[in-house]
Amino acid sequence: MEIVGCHAEGEVGDVIVGGVEPPPGETIWEQSRWVANDGRLRSLVLNEPRGGVFRHFNLLVPPVSPEADVAFIIMEPEDTPPMSGSNSMCVATVVLETGIVAMTEPVTNLTMEAPGGLVRVVAQCSKGKVTSVQIRNVASFCAGVDRSLHVEGLATLRVDVAFGGDSFVMVDAADLDIDIVPDNGRRLAELGTRITAAANEQLGFGHPTTDWSHISFCQIAGPLQQQGEGRFAMTSTSVIEPGKLDRSPTGTGVSARMALLRHKGVMQVGDQLTMSSVIGSQFVGRIEADTTLGGLPAIVPSVEGRAWRTGTYCHQVDPSDPWPLGYRVSDTWPNRASTSATGAGLPNR
């Protein structure tokens, strides 16, 4: 299995470029559901000893849409999601810098097919390097405003729910009496997983055109600041299951936040939002247009950031290895038993 390492503004998004056959399915969404349900590839790359809870992987597959230059399936620690902003930036950077897709300087336009739909990419390029990636994300929408949420051990919270290529419950950091800084990472992750669990139990989520039916992330956000006409900024962190912080500002989270702010009338078409992460990295989002999705008001967002290759490597499986699909231990994989439900800790005999 041939892999190119990459990260986008701090979040790992390695890309599998060879050694894996395309999964069954007539669409990229169906293929991603097969990967999620089968579990073996996910276990192989995400579990120890090859992976870890901090890693994401992207499997390159042949595109289905005639408009697409490349297609990919995203594998996060617990989910196989419709879309990811940071992973899209990693994929675009890898396919251009390795020559899988031809690079044109100073700007390369390409179309990538994610499970959630087509993603238009504008990549700034110089001397064989991708210097920034702007993605035009899938339609994003607000799913709930100012909802009451009871979380055991916390006061009743007021939260919002939105979709930006993935699904979010959103809460103000001030309501949790916590600052979004690296030293608070463990506490932020613990709070976020509890809030996500409560939101799935009490609020739920349903996508109007796919079977995506749960809330994936908790976005804990600082105050919104206006920096000029149509220009906004904020700091946030997205808590990824089973309990880690996104090191990047989370492209789907930026899109979801803009959908919420558009719904509230705070942002208009053409306005931009600069989102900072827990490590200080930034994505710049922009509302490109209004649209509808399954009859719901929605926006077409774009998100811009940077990604860097970190190396190339290969994975292999020794037939004598008693843990061919790896294992998980709860000291580093939060809220999990010592082995995964897919049998990741069991010998394959």
Main-chain phi, psi angles of 102, to 5 degrees: -65, 135
For residue 161, the SS3 value is: strand
**DSSP H or E stretch at residue 87:** helix 85-97
Instruction: Find where tokens 């490349």 sit.
Output: 70
Q: Is-contact 77 242, C-beta < 8 A? A: yes
- In the annotation, is 277 catalytic? no
Phi-psi region of 249 (alpha: psi -120 to 50; beta: other; left: phi over 0): alpha
Residue tagged active-site, from 84, 140, 238, 340? 84
Enter the tokens of residue 211: 């079977």
For residue 76, the SS3 value is: coil
* Sign of the dihedral defined by the CA atoms of residues 178, 182, 187, 193, in that order: positive
**DSSP code of residue 145:** E
| Residues carrying an active site annotation | 84
